[in-house]
Amino acid sequence: MRRWSFAKGHGTENDFVILLDRDGVLDLGEEEVRFLCDRHAGVGGDGVLRVVLASHVDGGDPHTWFMDYRNADGSIAEMCGNGIRVFARYLLDEGLVSGHELEIATRAGIKPIAVLPDGSVRVGMGEVRLTGEAVEVTVADGRAYDAVGVDVGNPHAVAFVADPAELAALPLWTAPSWTPAEAFPAGVNAEFVAVLGERHVAMRVYERGSGETRSCGTGTVAVAAATHARLGGSSEPAQYRVDVPGGSVEVELGEGQAWLTGPAVIVAHGEVALPGGRRHRTLED
């Protein structure tokens, strides 16, 4: 029986199982990820963060840490805005890096990180691009919403609802569908947004590979960018507060770069025994 050491952390209650695998030796497949993220039989989480040196993943810098992010269903994702803040907090807490500024490698490129005096973590998310894709997203009860495609290194479909009460009532227990289907051939993270005030919005999200989560970091950036465009925002830098079920984050939109700032907390360390030869539930089970 395999036994792995792990940590558990969250960013605005988007939670992750963290595995230190400096030299890339862990046999981490879909079954292992599903078990670890299982909230009844495993540790429980929206995803897994494997902490590995970049040289063991993509032949990158042997002194740079790579965030190998897996969704709860075992699928691989390009980027995770809440996850990378938790990843940075773990590196600092474990003494794997020093100082208040660092860079982390991801499948969406190198991301700059700064730890602020209040303990929050600020991440450079790169360029945010509205794709111009006209999409319709439909939720479980048949309600359909016009949405805009947004690329934050991973795909998003952002839809706006009329008021916060409608947002709270949305049935997101199953994945929304979208048309045209070819708009997001690799799946999409679907965000639903209510405007609360000037540069202040609330959102809920259904993440591909994980289901509805308490927060989605790249989703908050996509929502801020879509809201700014919807309200006719200028090209000048702008800051948005985005409320999610698990808390609030700040998104700064600038030319060629967006920044995401929010909390990151490590809540537990432990050891998990991985069973062999069992089938783990998928989101559809």
Give binding residues for substrate as ranges. 14, 71, 81-82, 154, 189, 207-208, 217-218
| CA dist 150 → 13, 24, 130, 164 (Å) | 23, 32, 4, 22
Is 80 among the residues known to form the active site?
yes
The residue among 269, 215, 221, 264 whose CA lies nearest residue 241 is 221
- The catalytic residue among 49, 72, 77, 80 is 80
Query: How far apart are alpha carbons 185 and 237 in whole angstroms?
Result: 32
Beta-bridge partner residues of 251? 240, 260
Q: Please confirm, yes or no, whether 37 is among the known catalytic residues.
A: no
Binding residues: 14, 71, 81-82, 154, 189, 207-208, 217-218
Residue 55 exposed, middle or buried by CB count within 10 Å (0-12, 13-18, 19+): middle
Record the tokens describing residue 200, joined without a space.
């202040």
Mapped onto helix, strand or coil, the DSSP state of residue 35 is helix
Among residues 91, 113, 203, 216, the one annotated as catalytic is 216
End-to-end CA distance of the chain: 26
Q: Among all residues, which ones are annotated catalytic?
A: 80, 216
